[in-house]
Amino acid sequence: MPVGTQASVKALTPGELYTLGAEIILGNTYHLYLRPGHNLIRALGGLHRFMNWHLPILTDSGGFQVYSLSSFRKIEEEGAIFRSHIDGSLHHLSPELAIEIQEALGADIMMCLDTCIPYPAGLEQVRSATDLTTRWAQRCLMARTSDKSLLFAIVQGGMYRQVRQDHTYRLLELGFDGYALGGLSVGEPKEMLFEMIECSRPLIPDYFPVYVMGVGTPEDLVECVAMGVDMFDCVMPTRNARNGMLFTSFGHIVIKNARFADDEGPIDPECGCYTCRNYSRAYLRHLFMARELLSYRLNTIHNLYYYLGLMTEMRRAIEEDRFHRFRKDFYRKRIK
């Protein structure tokens, strides 16, 4: 899911996202609550109409953004108390308000408010925070006023296998429309990320969609799909595009490198995106070094085309029962 934090996937129009093959995008409860406000968006017809995107939207609950505020927030039983990163104003985000905001936005998939756990964290801290996430999930269920939107719960548990497994079972008992594996990509080693997915994903029946939040690199996506994950979001393809890192079938390149100064070739000879069909590495390097706005657009078009194409290829490989071969070919092409 391309990340449209503030009702915009940076540098692209909704029409361009559709052309690239995006079928769903992500919006952010925290940011849209603060600016321009969920009530304004509701009055203007909801988030789909507001941003002119007519396919599904998933809104994350804002829990991770509150977590990232660090010294500007406090977690209590009733919810998260935080100060706005925009103007310092004080706010209280409860599970009930998180659902109210997401229903006002008209999200197709809403996320329960959760407590994101830092890494590293002690066992008792993890248990306490995970129990709070369970209670908040129950309150989110009760706060829901219609079944027009799906509601996903978020599995927490830090980096403790047993806590994650226990939490998965508890959320399954409550009954949600889908399940996310949260609290990952917070600084833990890569092998630990995969271990936490491996210990909890098999517990979730296959008829539920499973979503790993905030992941990740192309390699992360391939490995997580191999473990049975269905959905992802990450700012990496768009943020890295603006920073000049471009993803390809053979790995990534950093377009500012001097070796591309006179390179007439496309970013990736195997890529069919608008950028690769029309522009050279030399031109893209020039734009990036000159800080031209077109650099952000062309790089973002390429990276999202690559990511969305990778997901399409994996879906096709699964449907044709050849995912194992796809995975081997994927790594064979990577430059060591």
Rounded alpha-carbon distances, angstroms, from residue 142 to 95, 116, 151, 168: 10, 21, 11, 19
The tens digit of pLDDT for each residue in 71-118 reads 788 999 999 999 998 999 999 999 999 999 999 999 999 999 999 999
Token pair for 70: 């660090």
60 is catalytic: yes
CA-based Rg of the chain, rounded to a whole angstrom? 20
Q: What is the mean pLDDT of the chain?
A: 96
Whether the pLDDT of residue 335 is over 80: the answer is: no
CA 21-321-194 angle, to 5 degrees, is: 75
Q: How far apart are CA 64 and CA 90, in angstroms?
A: 17
The tens digit of pLDDT for each residue in 188-197 reads 999 999 999 9
Which residue is it, tokens 């399954």?
172
Q: Among 114, 220, 233, 268, which one carries the catalytic annotation?
A: 233
pLDDT at 225: 98
CB of 155 closer than 8 Å to CB of 200: yes
Give this prediction's pTM: 0.97
Q: Among 60, 166, 220, 268, which one carries the catalytic annotation?
A: 60
Whether the pLDDT of residue 66 is over 90: the answer is: no
The tens digit of pLDDT for each residue in 228-283 reads 999 999 999 999 999 999 999 999 999 999 999 999 999 999 999 999 999 999 99
Whether the pLDDT of residue 69 is over 80: the answer is: no
The tens digit of pLDDT for each residue in 275-294 reads 999 999 999 999 999 999 99
| Cβ-Cβ contacts under 8 Å for 126 (sequence gap 6 or more) | 117, 156, 157, 158, 159, 160, 163
Domains of the chain, start order: 14-234 (3.20.20.105), 239-333 (no CATH)
Size (the chain), residues = 336
220 is catalytic: no
Residue 157's region, left for phi above 0, alpha for psi from -120 to 50, else beta, is: left
The tens digit of pLDDT for each residue in 134-145 reads 999 999 999 999
